[in-house]
Amino acid sequence: MRAEIITIGDELCRGEIVNTNASWLAAALWDQQVTVTHMHSCLDIAEDMAQLVREAADRSDLVLLSGGLGPTSDDLTVDMLADLVGAEPVVHEPSAENMRTRFAAAGIALVPNSERQVRAPAGARVYENSTGLAPGFEVSHGDASVIALPGPPRELKAIFADHLVERISELRLARGEKLEHVARRIFRVFGKGESQVATALEGLALGDGASLHYQVKFPETLVKIVVRRDAQEAANAELSKIDADVRERLGWLVYGTDDDSMAKALVRELERLGHTIATAESCTGGMISALLTDVSGVSKSFPGGAVTYSNEEKMRQLGVSEETLKAHGAVSEEVVREMADGVRERMGADWGVAVSGIAGPGGGTKEKPVGTVWIGVAGPSGIRKTKMYCWPWTRERVRALAAHWALNLVRQQLGKL
Amino acid sequence: MRAEIITIGDELCRGEIVNTNASWLAAALWDQQVTVTHMHSCLDIAEDMAQLVREAADRSDLVLLSGGLGPTSDDLTVDMLADLVGAEPVVHEPSAENMRTRFAAAGIALVPNSERQVRAPAGARVYENSTGLAPGFEVSHGDASVIALPGPPRELKAIFADHLVERISELRLARGEKLEHVARRIFRVFGKGESQVATALEGLALGDGASLHYQVKFPETLVKIVVRRDAQEAANAELSKIDADVRERLGWLVYGTDDDSMAKALVRELERLGHTIATAESCTGGMISALLTDVSGVSKSFPGGAVTYSNEEKMRQLGVSEETLKAHGAVSEEVVREMADGVRERMGADWGVAVSGIAGPGGGTKEKPVGTVWIGVAGPSGIRKTKMYCWPWTRERVRALAAHWALNLVRQQLGKL
């Protein structure tokens, strides 16, 4: 099955918003084995919209539109498609009732325009909107199904999940396509670049119907495996074979799967061991603790952290000695070691992690150029680990890498317990 | 002048990446008074690419392509366009020389494929790439100019800035269009929603050739003013008139312009006064200090911060009293006041700012539901300010709002000095 996506709106063509709807729909269709061959955007001009729909319907089996279903005079999708299929736009009563209920609950009065957004071409298959007002709907043009969806991403996603996953399977079956069962996993990989990850996975045994894709999502790499089989058990079994192979090849580089984050993976490990961690940050300035506290329920594992941007605060909050600072400078192995020890002891945590570096753009020297970062980890049973990095990137990237490497080094040490 | 944008690549049509190139180019063209009527994406299939280019060139005056200029066999743009205009693909010698120099410096050997990426159709106008290997180029098809650009965003932007801004003006002049002088400003607005900002700006006097747009960039709203005039002085004068009106209507809601961030604006104010600030964070867990340290050169104004997730750390690091915690709970006016005072005194800063809240999803009660956040500010001359918020949003949004409101409250207090 071949599909095209048409997203409508002046704000897209003026570059005011990035088209996340198109990429979301493309990924959702790809997941259902539908090949998206083209994606288009146009202004809120009915003729342009209709021309794109006609051309797409001639080329493809399925056309998904988004946008132009609101209540204002700029919203032309219902009338344009009604015109295209020679039907009248009519109010969809269940959606109108839903609107009246919502408006009454919020104390908002209906205005004459309100009804515009709960219409569909007469005879269309209507898809109710569980999170908003405008319903989606489907009409036929030639041999193609043309499906219109509202522009707000939340509503578009809800209608897709509630109705279109099933409807697309139905359309594919009707076309004589074989519906396969899918098993998928995203491996979240940190610590090596995409090309090194790809090299490590070269020659990975992927049977028929299994595919592998890479996506760089700085600072990590996502490895996506999709397996399609006639039966779900077969797909799952094949995926778990591939899973084992991926993990053997990538080892500790794989920190998690699917929706994991590095912080989530680390907090999970800390919880499993009943351990706590405290942070001491200079150049990352609170990014590590912000990543950790992004994980809900982290309070069991994280008492707090110290952000010590000045040398005075490194001494006062963490007990770093003035001599060490003078002898080695704030960005040094000795200082991050004292920072990690200090924060661990003072906060009574099992683990302390510390970062000091030169994020730039200023502050570099010949010996310690911009991008130099020291990370220190102190743990139970006398664990001590320090490491230096030097990244030739921007301030933003150096800080993000430093924060992620700090979490990753703790994860590595935890893995050795 | 009417333009269309064609972005090429399987990864776009599979939804693996969001199409930021298209929106960037659309905004850049809109800035030059070029109306983008359509944007298209397609797979790496030469026929599909050629069909889109032909159709776009028939409809429009300018077609911008991006992608498909790399060295691999998937990269088809040069051959496709050479074929379309009936020319041979030829190596562009200055670009080849640039590639050899870069490869030699990095110690990379040239392979036979390498030359693929420094070619252009014979007779094309070539645009050198100052940040990468593949040059851009321009060919004519019918009355339209067709310009190909590499896919990596940095290279696309560099070629646009280095060559196309001027080239597009030239093309517009050749078409008899009047080149107007442009003055523009983005007002960065925080503290009210888009609809309230729009209401405040209703009836703003915008002369002919001036336009206003809104963009929501959570948690702030951007108000963009563009003025076009025959002379630069006239455009500037009109913009400064509008500027005064916008500021009068929005007042302190405008925290900065153009590339400002809330943290940058605050740091600028602190620097002007020679003041310092220290942070005490519970539910934001380091986000405020991370925002502050995102500003390069902040070390003069920011000694450090305390991340006190546990009650013990609130007492130990900030001197919050156990009685206060027991009597009022950690999320309370009394506690953020003690936190702000404590961090200010202990770090010897002019300002202390503190946040304690319930970011969710767990931890809410009937009296203090999820989304409840207290912010406290302590400043010189006995300044004390506390404020409570309750946001019915996700953990992520509550934390982001809390961090921005904390900075904003300090900015407000600074403004009163």
Q: Does B223 touch chain A (CB under 8 A)?
A: no
Task: Note the helical H segments in B70-134.
Answer: 77-85, 93-106
Do B51 and B127 lie in a common domain? yes
**Average pLDDT over every residue of A101-121:** 87
Tell me the nearest-neighbour CA distance from B286 into chain A, angstroms: 4
Residue that the structure tokens 């940058």 belong to: B264
Give the burial class of B251: count Cβ atoms within 10 A of its Cβ; 0-12 exposed, 13-18 middle, 19 or more buried: exposed
Do A284 and A215 lie in a common domain? no
Residue that the structure tokens 């944007």 belong to: B39
**Average pLDDT over every residue of B154-173:** 96
pLDDT at B302: 98
B299 contact residues in A (CB cutoff 8 A): 309-310
Residue that the structure tokens 């949003």 belong to: B393
Banded pLDDT at B334 (limits 50, 70, 90): very high
Nearest Cβ partner for B286 among A12, A305, A317:
A305
Tell me the nearest-neighbour CA distance from B6 into chain A, angstroms: 9
CA distances (Å), origin A304, targets A300, A416, B307, B308? 11, 24, 5, 5
B408: left (phi over 0), alpha (psi -120 to 50) or beta: alpha
Can you tell me the distance from the alpha carbon of B35 to that of B39, in angstroms, rounded to the nearest whole number? Answer: 11
Q: Does A316 touch chain B (CB under 8 A)?
A: yes
Asked if the structure places residue B108 within a domain, the reply is yes
pLDDT at A76: 96
- Are A283 and B293 within 8 A, CB to CB? yes
Mean pLDDT of chain B: 95
Chain A from 317 to 346: CB within 8 A of any B CB: 317, 346
pLDDT at B327: 98
Can you tell me the distance from the alpha carbon of A319 to that of B225, in angstroms, rounded to the nearest whole number? Answer: 52
Do B159 and B301 lie in a common domain? no
Q: Does B279 touch chain A (CB under 8 A)?
A: yes
Q: Does A39 touch chain B (CB under 8 A)?
A: yes
Asked if the structure places residue B267 within a domain, the reply is no
What residue of A is the nearest CA neighbor of B287?
A290
Residue that the structure tokens 């193609």 belong to: A144
Banded pLDDT at A73 (limits 50, 70, 90): confident
**Span of A402-411, B205-214, B220-229, B244-253 with lowest mean pLDDT:** B205-214
pLDDT at B209: 85
Chain A from 354 to 413: CB within 8 A of any B CB: 359-362, 395-396, 399
Asked if the structure places residue B200 within a domain, the reply is yes
Last residue of a domain, one of B257, B285, B307: B257
**Average pLDDT over every residue of B287-295:** 98
Residue A217, pLDDT above cutoff 90: no
Asked if the structure places residue A264 within a domain, the reply is no
In sequence order, what are the residues at sequence separation of 6 or more whose Cβ sits closer than 8 angstroms to the Cβ of residue B412? Answer: B252, B385
Do A273 and A219 lie in a common domain? no
Give the residue among B277, B304, B349, B300 at the shortest CA–CA distance from A363.
B300
Asked if the structure places residue A262 within a domain, the reply is no
- What proportion of chain A, given as a percentage, has pLDDT over 70? 100
Last residue of a domain, one of B174, B199, B221: B174
pLDDT at B103: 86
- Are A307 and B309 within 8 A, CB to CB? no
Tell me the nearest-neighbour CA distance from B15 into chain A, angstroms: 4
Do A143 and A224 lie in a common domain? no
SS3 B307: strand
- In the A/B pair of chains, how many CB contacts fall below 8 A? 229
Banded pLDDT at A46 (limits 50, 70, 90): very high
pLDDT at B306: 98
pLDDT in tens, A255-310: 999 999 999 999 999 999 999 999 999 999 999 999 999 999 999 999 999 999 99
Can you tell me the distance from the alpha carbon of A293 to that of A108, in angstroms, rounded to the nearest whole number? Answer: 38
Do A293 and A224 lie in a common domain? no
Do A306 and A213 lie in a common domain? no
Do B322 and B356 lie in a common domain? yes
The answer to whether the complex's ipTM is over 0.90 is no
CATH number at residue B360: 3.90.950.20
Can you tell me the distance from the alpha carbon of B312 to that of B310, in angstroms, rounded to the nearest whole number? Answer: 5
Tell me the nearest-neighbour CA distance from B41 into chain A, angstroms: 5
Tell me the nearest-neighbour CA distance from A237 into chain B, angstroms: 25
Do B325 and B411 lie in a common domain? yes
CA distances (Å), origin A272, targets A289, A300, A353, B362? 20, 11, 19, 20
Asked if the structure places residue B45 within a domain, the reply is yes
| Count of structural domains, chain A | 3
* Pairing assessment for the beta strands A254-257 and A181-189 based on DSSP bridges: antiparallel
Residue that the structure tokens 């010897």 belong to: B348
pLDDT at A258: 93
Q: Does A223 touch chain B (CB under 8 A)?
A: no
Q: What is chain A's Cα-based Rg?
A: 27
Establish whether the linkage from the previous residue to B89 is cis, with ω within 30° of 0.
no
pLDDT in tens, B345-354: 999 999 999 9
- Are A293 and B303 within 8 A, CB to CB? no
**Average pLDDT over every residue of B136-149:** 97
Can you tell me the distance from the alpha carbon of B407 to that of B417, in angstroms, rounded to the nearest whole number? Answer: 16
Within a 13 Å sphere around the CA of B360, how many CA atoms are in the beta-carbon half?
A: 20
CATH number at residue B240: 3.30.70.2860
**pTM, rounded to two decimals:** 0.85
Tell me the nearest-neighbour CA distance from A343 into chain B, angstroms: 11
- Are A285 and B299 within 8 A, CB to CB? no
- Are A15 and B24 within 8 A, CB to CB? yes
Indicate the residue type of B175: R
Residue B216, pLDDT above cutoff 80: no
Residue A106, pLDDT above cutoff 80: no
- Are A12 and B20 within 8 A, CB to CB? no
Asked if the structure places residue B262 within a domain, the reply is no
Asked if the structure places residue B199 within a domain, the reply is yes
Give the burial class of A298: count Cβ atoms within 10 A of its Cβ; 0-12 exposed, 13-18 middle, 19 or more buried: buried
Banded pLDDT at B377 (limits 50, 70, 90): very high
Q: Which residues lie across from A5 on neighbouring strands?
A: A39, A64
Residue that the structure tokens 């929501």 belong to: B216
CB A37 within 8 A of CB A61: no
Last residue of a domain, one of B138, B154, B174: B174
Do B314 and B381 lie in a common domain? yes
- Are B39 and A12 within 8 A, CB to CB? yes
Q: Does A221 touch chain B (CB under 8 A)?
A: no
CA distances (Å), origin B374, targets A166, A202, A287, B157? 46, 53, 21, 43
Tell me the nearest-neighbour CA distance from A188 into chain B, angstroms: 15
Mean pLDDT of chain A: 95
Do B251 and B328 lie in a common domain? no
Q: Which of B12, B16, B160, B398 to mutate to test the interface with A (most CBs of A within 10 A)?
A: B16
Do B6 and B111 lie in a common domain? yes
Structural domain boundaries enclosing A253: 181-257
CATH number at residue B100: 3.40.980.10
Give the residue among B181, B168, B77 at the shortest CA–CA distance from B119.
B77
Q: How far is CA B370 from the centre of its chain?
A: 30
CB A130 within 8 A of CB A152: no
Give the residue among A65, A1, A29, A203 at the shortest CA–CA distance from B16.
A29
pLDDT at B163: 98
Chain A from 13 to 32: CB within 8 A of any B CB: 13-20, 22-30
Give the residue among A184, A185, A182 at the shortest CA–CA distance from A229.
A182
**Average pLDDT over every residue of B184-213:** 89
Residue A30, pLDDT above cutoff 80: yes
